Structure 1
């Protein structure tokens, strides 16, 4: 016997996608502002870690949107609601945790070495 949802969560799929998309634009804008402020912060010797608080809220929005999008997509393809959430939540949280760690290490590297150190086109 197959499980078919009477009303697939297409609306939740769209909401999750739009949440992740708009939070991604917010994260991009916040990153640009933070990187533009680096030269003035170096001269003042202030603590640059306060920028992580500004990045956390948009990144949390991306994480929630991806979780909603993935869980809704699995439910549309026939997974029961509890199983779709049970698969979508760990996958999205683990992926977003790994991306957060990578983002932190890349920002720390770029802050120490400069943005030119990230230019991979000049290596060839």
Structure 2
């Protein structure tokens, strides 16, 4: 008798846990970076994303997102290589766009303060 293998829910759940955990660390590091930048806004590295721990936490978030997306594709019967390949492509593109946008927002805050982000 042939048994159908269960979908790999565990891969998606582990990816979700990793992304969520690193995301919380990234959030706290961004908050600390903004507080330091407001206190010393004339410093050369204020409002820049050059802290290695900040970069590592963001890459950890991207890694968890990759695992989650790949696991999600596996649940829908994609092969392992196509699932994680497409997930890697999506993660790299989305992660790079978000990182670039976050850098631009921080520079905009440096130039005009937090009021410069209002939508009015």
Task: Please tell me the TM-score bracket, short chain as reference.
Answer: 0.7 to 0.9
User: 1:23 is paired with a residue of what secondary structure?
Assistant: helix
Q: How does 1:81-100 map to 2 (within 5 A)?
A: 81-100=80-99
**Residue 72 (1) aligns with residue 62 (2):** no
> Match for residue 39 of structure 1?
38
Contact residue 12 and residue 68 of structure 2 kept, 8 A: yes
TM-score, normalised via structure 2 length: 0.86
The gaps in structure 1 that reach 5 residues or longer are none
Name the CA distance, whole Å, in 1 between partners of 2:23 and 2:75. 24
TM-score, normalised via structure 1 length: 0.84
> Match for residue 50 of structure 2?
52
> Match for residue 14 of structure 1?
13
Name the CA distance, whole Å, in 2 between partners of 1:50 and 1:109. 11
Deviations, residues 31-60 of structure 1 (Å, cap 9, x unaligned): 1111111232235x3432665224211110
Root-mean-square deviation (CA), in Å? 1.8
Deviating above 3 A after TM superposition, structure 1's stretches of 4 or more consecutive aligned residues are none
Query: How many residues align structurally?
Result: 116
Of stretches 6-15 and 90-99 in structure 1, the one that deviates more from structure 2 is 6-15
> Match for residue 117 of structure 1?
116
The gaps in structure 2 that reach 5 residues or longer are none
Name the CA distance, whole Å, in 2 between partners of 1:113 and 1:39. 12
